[in-house]
Amino acid sequence: MIRYVTEKREDERMKRSEINATIRKFEALLEECRFCLPPYLSFTPDEWKTKNHEYDEIRDNELGWDVTDYGEGHFDKLGLALITIRNGNIHNPEYPKPYAEKIMMCDSGQVSPMHYHVNKMEDIICRGGNDIVFTFYNADQSRVHRQEDGRDVFEKDLENDVLIYRDGRRYKVRAGEPVRIHKGESITLVPYQYHEFIIPAGGPSLIGEVSKVNDDHTDNFFHEPLGRFPHIEEDEPAYRLLCTEYPKAKD
């Protein structure tokens, strides 16, 4: 497993300036790779204040910008920037889409940490920029680990090979063996499959995700106890609102 910083900074907070800079870098990478976004992703915070209930699907399903350091305060080593472009909602039948799509940016040296899903199956696609290096384990459903926050997660299976689904090819790799994919390639991740990735030297990777309906609040089971969303220090005004920050409809 990739070793990453888990000792928290004293303040355990991301600065708003760091989030703003990350979003601007993400926008530049999207433009470089000619990946166009829906119009609402360019709304300013003031524009969001004028939007009515016609945008409730975005608010209710937390579509949009998402920058996280997993609550650890080391975004350069443990972090991810992503956009949820479309998603259903398993808690609200008003939004019955059974699928979701994301586009992500992860920079050199950054890790998306070890976790598995219970419900979600997903394809992770290298859309442009740098390669992606994965590490996989099966979740051992016979062994449960209780974390400090009281949440139960399965242990990693360190012995058995992991079945890989890679662009129509099925094969096995040893538990913990690095798997590197290049631009245009993808990996299918199945439930109860621990996965983690890091971006090697050479700049950021533009990463796509196509999946079943996604619930980031309940279906991320991290091997080590981590938060999903950052704590933010407001050292400057927001450039874009994150998906958890939208104001209520005007009327």
CATH superfamily of 14-233: Jelly Rolls (2.60.120.10)
Q: Which amino acid is at 227?
A: G
DSSP per residue over 73-133, as a string? S-TTTB-EEEEEEEE--TT-TT----EEEEEEEE-BT-EEEEEE-SS--EEEEEEEES-EE
Q: What does the pLDDT read at residue 146?
A: 87
Residues 6+ apart with CB under 8 A from 211: 99, 100, 101, 102, 120, 121, 122, 123
Q: Where are the domains of the chain?
A: 14-233
Residues 6+ apart with CB under 8 A from 95: 57, 60, 61, 87, 88, 89
Contact call for residues 222 and 116 (beta carbons, < 8 A): no
Sign of CA dihedral 180, 184, 188, 193: positive
Q: Where are the alpha helices (DSSP H) in the chain?
A: 16-32, 45-48, 56-60
Residues recorded for the chain = 251
Q: Would you give per-residue pLDDT tens digits along the chain (251 residues)? A: 444 444 544 457 899 999 999 999 999 999 999 999 999 999 999 999 999 999 999 999 999 999 999 988 899 999 999 999 999 999 999 999 999 999 999 999 999 999 999 999 999 999 999 999 999 999 999 999 888 878 899 999 999 999 999 999 999 999 999 999 999 999 999 999 999 999 999 999 999 999 999 998 899 999 988 877 888 999 999 999 999 999 999 77
Q: What does the pLDDT read at residue 227?
A: 77
- Strand 14-15 with 232-233, pairing: parallel
Residues 6+ apart with CB under 8 A from 6: 72, 78, 224
Q: What does the pLDDT read at residue 3?
A: 44
Residues 6+ apart with CB under 8 A from 222: 70, 113, 114, 115, 153
Under DSSP, is residue 145 helix (H, G, I), strand (E, B) or coil? strand
Count other C-beta atoms under 10 Å from residue 18's C-beta: 20
